Amino acid sequence: MYIQRHLAPTLAKALRQFPAVLLTGPRQAGKTTFLLHEMGSRFDYVSLDDPLERQFALSDPNGFLDRFADKPVILDEIQYAPDLLPYLKIRIDKNRKLYGKWLLTGSQQFHLMKNVSESLAGRVGILELLPFTVDEPGAGTTSLEEAIWNGSYPEPALAPDKRDLWLRSYIQTYIERDVRQLQNIHDLRTFELFINMAAARHGQVFNTAELSRECGVSLPTIKAWGGVLGASYLGYLLQPWFKNYGKRLSKTPKFYFLDPALPCFFTRQPDAPSALAGAMGGALFEGLIVSEAVKVFASLGRKADIFYWRSHDGLEVDLIIQAGAKLYPVEIKLTATPTVKHLEPLDRFRNIAGNDAAETGLLVCRVTKETPLPSRNKALPWQEFAGWLRALLQ
């Protein structure tokens, strides 16, 4: 069963505007399935994960590319043949108006993006396919407990009985394969300890000094490892909002796993109801909504303009969304009964931001329908957040 992805119109648009399009994203997010379903009838397909195809591409790049003279092609897992990119550049430069000829995919972001930016700058449109949003029809989510527990990767979302084995295998492959390729990390056991420590702090400030002490490695190492989590799409660092852009870069971000099943797995939650009802329930719900925001921006081919805000006296807005010239404050609370107390951060932020703030503050929670609240705020069911944001951005 194929699930229609929200990225499809964005991909079609990019293919009309660029000679080459690179589709990147985490492993097992469905990149190959997506491209074969959307473009397979019009495009040839080659996987560079195939040793024979990879050897052909590396030993005779011109001969390899000559096979696709008259038809557009999907080159899957391009990171395995980076030396092919300069030859692609030469062919693109011979006919810069031949749009949509080359469709590339890749998973490891660090080295892949370095090679692409060096070889195909200005010639390639770059898109990200992330796991499902909860509003992609048939994506498997029927309840908040399922959304948190099974996560949004296609396989466990659509086949929950595989969930435990899939997560265990995914993490093992990630640590033993991807991490080694992203960065030369020798002590994988310490890196695994770091991931577990990060999971325990899901939804909290990314305290590098504290993690450094607990993992027994240097501060620069912790910062580099945080970068690895982001580059491999496992984690996301949500930056604080300040009017002064320099302060945004210098202050401490909050850390989230991009898929809620991962912190459940790492912190050894016993089951879905316990995860949501336990001490991490609020953080897991908050992380789910933050990841939804990241995925909606990605589906539109845009970098996520999202932040969090904290006042000097500790009042915090979980999510600030920049859309156009306005800032939309969003509180994320695991409640079905909104109160005036939940609205205090929204009201404070709008007062401080002044004309830059949107007129309405948003409380994303477990209400069953959109509900007006005092002081020009409203409560929104969590299932409707992705659709609300997509409508806002389009």
pLDDT tens track, the chain, 394 positions: 788 999 999 999 999 999 999 999 998 999 999 999 999 889 999 999 999 999 999 999 999 999 998 889 999 999 888 899 999 999 999 988 899 999 999 876 656 667 787 778 889 999 999 999 999 877 656 799 999 999 999 999 999 999 999 999 999 888 777 776 666 677 788 988 999 999 999 999 999 999 999 999 999 999 989 988 888 889 999 999 987 645 554 578 999 999 999 999 999 999 999 999 999 999 999 999 999 999 999 999 999 999 999 988 888 999 999 999 999 999 999 999 999 999 999 999 999 999 999 999 999 999 999 999 999 999 999 999 999 999 999 8
- Using alpha carbons, list the distances in angstroms from residue 232 to 30, 110, 117, 215, 257: 15, 8, 18, 21, 11
CA distance 98 to 117: 20
CA distance 245 to 83: 38
Q: Packing angle between helix 109-120 and helix 85-94, nearest 10 degrees?
A: 30
> What's 8-128's CATH class?
alpha beta
Q: What are the start-end ranges of the H helices in 328-369?
A: 340-353
| Tokens, residue 22 | 């690179």
Q: What is the per-residue pLDDT for 206?
A: 94
Q: What is the per-residue pLDDT for 216?
A: 93
| Tokens, residue 174 | 């990630």
CB atoms < 10 A from the CB of 175, how many?
Answer: 16
Q: What is the per-residue pLDDT for 117?
A: 72
CA distance 219 to 260: 27
Q: Any idea what the Cα angle at residue 302 is, between residues 300 and 306, rounded to 5°?
A: 115
Q: What is the per-residue pLDDT for 80?
A: 87
CB atoms < 10 A from the CB of 392, how many?
Answer: 15
pTM, full prediction: 0.93
Q: What is the DSSP string of 260-282?
A: THHHHHHTT--SHHHHHHSTTHH
| Tokens, residue 257 | 């796993």
CA distance 350 to 87: 52
Q: What is the per-residue pLDDT for 84?
A: 92
Burial class (CB in 10 A: 0-12, 13-18, 19+), 308: buried
In which residue ranges of the chain is CATH 3.40.1350 found? 306-393
In which residue ranges of the chain is CATH 3.40.50.300 found? 8-128
Residue 334 CB partners (closer than 8 Å, separation 6+): 276, 281, 282, 285, 365, 366
- CATH code of the region 144-299: 1.10.10
CA distance 129 to 34: 9
Residue 322 and residue 245 in contact, taking contact as beta carbons nearer than 8 Å:
no
Q: Packing angle between helix 109-120 and helix 219-231, nearest 10 degrees?
A: 70
Q: Report, at the CATH architecture level, how domain 306-393 is classified.
A: 3-Layer(aba) Sandwich (3.40)
